[in-house]
Amino acid sequence: MSVQPAEAATEVAFPPGFVWGAATAAFQIEGSTTVDGRSPSVWDTFCRQPGAVVNGDTGEPAADHYRRYGEDVELMRDLGLGAYRFSTAWPRIRPDAGEPDSRGLDFYDRLVDRLLAAGIAPWATLYHWDLPQTLEDDGGWANRDTAYRFAEYAETIVSRLGDRVVSWTTLNEPWCAAILGYAQGIHAPGRTDPKAAVAAVHHLLLGHGLAMDVIRRHAPGSKAGLTLNLFPVVPADPGSAADLEAVRRIDGLQNRLFLDPVLRGAYPEDLVEDLAPFGLADHVRAGDLGVISAPLDLLGVNYYRGYQVTGTPREGTEPGGPAWIGAETVAFVTDDGLPRTESGWQVQPDGLTDILLRVHREYPAIPLYITENGAAYPDHEHGDGQVDDHDRVAFLDSHLRAAHAAILGGVDLRGYFYWSLLDNFEWAEGYAKRFGIVHVDYETQRRTPKQSARWYSQVINHNGLG
């Protein structure tokens, strides 16, 4: 089912100074996975596991950004981007989590300088899932020591770029790294160990807090925070006790398990009880939550869809939820008639308004940025160099209007980054799904701005929607 643009759409103006950008991640676009001393990451290893990634795809060559970054920055300039959110690659900067490698550091030096010369603000993310494989061999994020090794890596890159990068995020979507990677096994490192996943949650958050201290020391005056993927979770039947319990469980592990320790300084009591058999309390040491809840300058919100859940699985639902909290009692509604992206994700722009309002109302005041929002659709290429993606334009239009509705509701929302600038390696989906506003021909590496890129450029130019 296609997404349709809003009928009789009204003009929408965003606040002065609103940040307009696009986002990428190192492993998804850089390629050059064995170049200039870069060591293997958990994703390099995961890609070699049979059946782990669609078509057996790997992070090579991805979008060849390591060699083509200059061309890509010119694309950003042409589109009028005010900011570019990228991640730095731990295995490139400190190969095998060892000593710094000047070649990797030099690459990010060149990238940042090129962005600044183009008038584009660099937004750096320290961790977008590419853990050095050597650390995974020692237990990965289930090992507390990894948090301290992360702080070492953070110090290396922040001390190098902190004089020019003034916006930092420590982690991207720690939920994915911990739950998908260590419990469900569908992301790297591909483990299915609930106890390891619970340990990974805490150690990722500890690493975030330690990295915040690094940023404060080496990039004074910069803005710093982290990015969480948040989902509104609603019951299929608001009058059903079973459905409300399903909401509690899913919302707890998806949202509150990360929001609460970071913004309130404590894990939710109900989740501490739920996760007691899996050792959450065993990993929390004196002082940890103080480190984790260090004051933030910003919170990045990644939004793609919401969840409608039930505690009484039936036709039109599919099982879901982390296994250790009773997946047999939780299911996701699948037959609600909403349009879907090529990924099968329901298109729910109102959910973006809802989740932004929730953070605004339930947590301490903090500036918010939408650091990812986007959709995969089958793009239609024409021989004249045009790439039509009407569905993506409609998706963008509806979600930007939803973001504006949150601002009208009092949310301190200060920016929007589309995911993604370029078609790229989309994790377990490999190259089968295209999220970019710029089409990448993976055979030739030719870049072609899509219809959505031209549309977004107009939004940026007008700071609003017509």
**Which residues does the annotation mark as catalytic?**
173, 372
Helix 349-362 × helix 390-408 angle, to 10°: 30
Contacts of 324 (CB under 8 A, 6+ apart): 183, 194, 275, 277, 278
Question: Could you tell me which residues come within 8 angstroms of residue 267 by beta carbon, excluding any fewer than 6 positions away?
Answer: 257, 260, 261, 280, 284, 289
Evaluate the CA torsion angle 333, 309, 183, 424 in order and state its sign.
Answer: positive
Name, in order, each residue with C-beta under 8 angstroms of 29's C-beta and a sequence gap of 6 or more: 62, 63, 65, 420, 422, 424, 425
Confirm if 122 and 61 have CB atoms less than 8 A apart.
no
In 101-141, which ranges are continuous DSSP H helix? 102-117, 133-137
Token code pair at residue 14: 């965003």
Residue 269, phi then psi, degrees to nearest 5: -60, -40
| H-helix or E-strand spanning residue 406 | helix 390-408
List the one residue out of 465, 345, 459, 427 whose CA is nearest residue 22: 459
**Which residues are CB-neighbours of 323 under 8 A, at least 6 positions away?**
183, 194
DSSP letter for each residue of 231-273: --EEESSTT-HHHHHHHHHHHIIIIIHHHHHHHTSS--HHHHH
- Position of tokens 């707890």? 252
